[in-house]
Amino acid sequence: MLVWRGKVPGVSSPLSLGTFVKQVTTSIPTRFRPHRIATKTLTTTKVLNSSYFETLNPLQKQQISLYVDALLQWNQKMNLTAVTKADEVMERHVGDSLAMIPPIQSSYIAHCDSSCNDISLVDVGSGPGLPGLILAIACPSWKITLLESMNKRCIFLEHAVSLTGLSNVQVVRGRAENLGQNIGFREVFDVAVARAVAEMRILAEYCLPLVRVGGLFLAAKGHDPQEEVRNAERAIQLMGASVLQLCSVESHSPYGQRTAIVCLKDRPTPRKYPRDPGTPAQSPL
Ligand SMILES: C[S@@+](CC[C@H](N)C(=O)[O-])C[C@H]1O[C@@H](n2cnc3c(N)ncnc32)[C@H](O)[C@@H]1O
């Protein structure tokens, strides 16, 4: 099990939080709630009513503060996010990322293992580390792989990992289609997650080949993903999985909620998937 034992570079005391963290603490969505989906193949999640930001210790909050500062600073030189203010980064990106933890934990405990302490998780199309790097801070016993195809974003990710002192993260530059056919990455992860990367039927082909049989794939989606999920049912089934549930989480969106789509992989993915790089997006299943 990997446990955080590091010290944040340049920070003398984990208790010396600046006003930034105090400000942003109040802007994080505080409740998670269930949402019933009117589709016969989908089940409803349990009540998810905890805020992970509030449960973070001072060191973890400080790590998030360092990450947000670095993201905004590097964003002036390279395109990492459209968001330019710290409180917006906290609400939209950090809050959204933390909101994935309750569905991951409750689904994993219910369908994979009674303990979710040492999950290996891959964040596909991590960009600037969302949600994967935030999950690595919030869940230091998880082993996180940040998969990103763009070199300059990987350079930022390496910087952010070093800055925050995280020891439970690896950054992998590559395309999901290639890693899914690589024996070192194929069907090895307990959980795959993705946020803002592609529509669900494409994401299924990117992510599910990386997940072990018996593992989970969770996609962070908008407030009303039912049609997207229906369009992806064939692709998900071809990858050896099925949709378990749609979990709603309170969010910054105008509709006040976003959805985590949870899929369970119960069979191996056929060897021919994922197809060559570019094919899943050009010819979705
Ligand atoms: C819109 S960004 C979203 C980044 C982040 N997940 C977030 O929520 O902010 C999509 C990222 O996915 C990466 N990406 C797209 N297709 C990919 C693929 N096939 N394999 C790996 N990364 C991919 C892109 O380079 C980009 O950084």
In this predicted structure, what is the pLDDT of residue 249?
Answer: 81
Distance from Cα 141 to the centre of ligand 1, integer Å: 25
Q: Which atom of ligand 1 approaches the CA of 206 most closely? A: 19
Q: Is residue 14 part of a domain?
A: no
Q: Quote the number of domains for the chain.
A: 1
The answer to whether position 218 is within a domain reads: yes
Domain presence at residue 44: yes
Q: Is the Cα dihedral 130, 128, 199, 275 positive or negative? A: negative
> pLDDT tens per residue, the chain (285 residues)?
222 223 333 333 332 222 322 333 333 333 333 333 333 445 444 334 346 788 899 999 999 999 999 999 999 999 999 999 998 899 889 988 999 999 999 999 999 988 889 999 999 999 999 999 999 999 999 999 999 999 999 999 999 999 999 999 999 999 999 999 999 999 999 999 999 999 999 999 999 999 999 999 999 998 889 999 999 999 999 999 999 999 988 766 666 678 999 999 999 999 999 999 999 999 999
Would you say residue 4 lies in a domain?
no
Ligand 1 pocket test, candidate residues 74, 155, 177, 197, most atoms within 8 A of CB? 197
Q: Which residues pair with 121 in a beta bridge?
A: 144, 191
pLDDT of residue 39: 39
Ligand 1 atom closest to 280 (CA): 19
* Ligand 1 near 206 CB (within 6 A): yes
This prediction's pTM: 0.85
Return the sign of the alpha-carbon dihedral for residues 28, 247, 49, 128.
Answer: negative
Domain limits for position 62: 26-282
- The verdict on the CB of residue 258 being under 6 Å from ligand 1 is no
Question: Would residue 181 be called left, alpha or beta, if left means φ above 0 and alpha means ψ between -120 and 50 degrees?
Answer: alpha
Cβ of 127 closer than 6 Å to ligand 1, yes or no, is yes
Domain CATH number, residue 253: 3.40.50.150
- What is the pLDDT, as a whole number, of residue 253? 63
Strand ordering across the sheet containing 211-221: 43-44, 241-250, 257-265, 211-221, 189-195, 120-124, 143-148, 169-173
- Residue 124 is assigned to a structural domain of this protein: yes
* Residue 92 lies inside a defined structural domain of this protein: yes
Q: Domain for residue 13, yes or no?
A: no
pLDDT of residue 257: 75
ipTM (interface predicted TM): 0.99
* Ligand 1 centroid, distance to 39 Cα (angstroms): 29
Cα angle 208-96-210, degrees, rounded to a multiple of 5:
15
Asked, for residue 103, whether it belongs to a domain, the answer is yes
